[in-house]
Amino acid sequence: MPPAPLAVPSRVCATLVGLLSLAALVLQYVLILQLTRDNVGVVLGTVRFLTYFTILSNIAVMLVACAAAAGQPGFFAQARVRGAVALYIGVTGSIYFFILRHLWQPQGAQWWADTGLHYAVPLAYWAWWLACVPHGTLRWRDVAGWLLFPLGYVVWVFLRGAWLGEYPYPFIDVAQLGWARVGVNAVGVMGVFVVLGLVVVGLDHLLGRRRRPL
């Protein structure tokens, strides 16, 4: 049985989340093309853009938010998918805040894109997911399924890195750190996915018992 459409307040909030993620994505895409169009070109610049987990998780937020705003049933309206996206965008914000933000100081338009992708969108999506959608249907085993996407992402990053010799994040840069160190880092990041995934399911159970959605 497909989930019921969300109420108007939830759909309005979803619209705002979707617009926020779209704006941050478009700005970052324009900035990346400005940096890459004269050396690698638009196509490889676009591939580089899509190599960042930050970008993929923000695209997922936009798709879920747009589906909710439109009141459309289907894949992106499923509770498991909404929970998965809460996990992915939560890991995006957490890894950036605790590990990556100290490595550079973006300025100007890049600061706006950076803040949107890593802070504003994760916080907005989590606020919407916690307050405005139905809860109580997730299962602990869902966490295992949610790990397939980041595992596939890691395989893609390593294959691309072996081909082009570049990696999107310094903690998985095989050329600089070696496979042993990168392996430890990758296991640590997957541990973050597992822990936060369990938090997502636990919160879903708690909220499902305590209240009804808007």
Query: Does residue 198 form part of some domain?
Result: yes
Which two three-digit tokens encode residue 177? 């750190």
Which two three-digit tokens encode residue 90? 């939560």
- Position of tokens 């779209």? 22
Tell me: the pLDDT tens digits for 194-207? Answer: 999 999 999 999 99
Q: Is 58 left (phi over 0), alpha (psi -120 to 50) or beta?
A: alpha
- The H-assigned helical ranges of 53-173 are 53-70, 79-95, 108-115, 121-132, 142-146, 148-164
Query: Does residue 1 form part of some domain?
Result: no
Query: Does residue 2 form part of some domain?
Result: no
What's the domain range around 185? 8-210
Tell me: the pLDDT tens digits for 168-182? Answer: 999 999 989 999 999
Tell me: the pLDDT tens digits for 12-61? Answer: 999 999 999 999 999 999 999 998 877 778 888 898 899 999 999 999 99
State the average pLDDT over residues 182-203.
96
State the average pLDDT over residues 88-103.
95
Q: What is the pLDDT of residue 171?
A: 93
Domain count, the chain: 1
State the average pLDDT over residues 69-83.
93
Residues 6+ apart with CB under 8 A from 202: none
User: Under DSSP, is residue 165 helix (H, G, I), strand (E, B) or coil?
Assistant: coil
Average pLDDT, the chain: 92
- Chain center to CA of 182: 21
User: Under DSSP, is residue 43 helix (H, G, I), strand (E, B) or coil?
Assistant: helix
d(CA 138, CA 202): 9
Query: Does residue 3 form part of some domain?
Result: no
C-alpha gyration radius of the chain: 18
Which DSSP category does 136 fall into?
A: S
